[in-house]
């Protein structure tokens, strides 16, 4: 039985990645040098070193579903100076989700979505 999915994402600069995700509310669980594990609530993200990655050419992306407080989280990220993707402002989508997107320092697109009630 599958119980969860844990994305493995690239990092170019470990410290920039740690700073970005800590600001976004994630805690460092483990640092194995070229491999990191971070978590927030029930979400766990793994990161592997990819020093030759060009962020502007990255195809990495994940979707993070939220069960509440997406508007507060959106505002928190803006208050911290984390840029919202130019095409990813908080909006209602046709698939009945309230969503927004950001891009991490490695070029990974993170989309956050909350079901509409």
Q: 21-80: per-residue pLDDT in tens? A: 999 999 999 999 999 999 998 899 999 999 999 999 999 999 999 999 999 999 999 999
Token digits for 106?
């490695």
The three-state secondary structure class of 103 is: strand
CA distance 20 to 28: 12
Residue (of 5, 3, 33) closest to 18 by Cα position: 33
Whether the Cβ atoms of residue 34 and residue 80 lie closer than 8 Å to each other: no
pLDDT of residue 29: 97
pLDDT of residue 28: 98
How do residues 70-115 score in pLDDT, each as one tens digit?
Answer: 999 999 999 999 999 999 999 999 999 999 999 999 999 999 999 9
Residue (of 57, 56, 58, 12) closest to 34 by Cα position: 12
Residue (of 24, 51, 58) closest to 39 by Cα position: 24
In the chain, where does DSSP find H-type helix? 14-23, 70-79
pLDDT of residue 117: 79
- The pTM score is 0.92
pLDDT of residue 62: 96
């Amino acid at each position: 039985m599958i119980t969860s999915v844990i994305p493995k994402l690239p990092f170019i600069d470990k410290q920039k990645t740690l700073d970005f995700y800590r600001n976004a509310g994630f805690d460092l669980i483990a640092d194995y040098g070229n491999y990191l594990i971070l978590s927030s609530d029930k979400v766990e993200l793994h990161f592997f070193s990819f020093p030759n990655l060009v962020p502007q050419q990255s195809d990495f992306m994940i979707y993070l579903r939220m069960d509440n407080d997406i508007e507060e989280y959106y505002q928190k990220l803006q208050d911290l100076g984390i840029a919202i993707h130019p095409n990813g402002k908080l909006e209602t989508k046709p698939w009945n989700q309230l969503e927004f997107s950001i891009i991490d320092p490695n070029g990974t697109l993170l989309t956050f979505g909350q079901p509409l009630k």
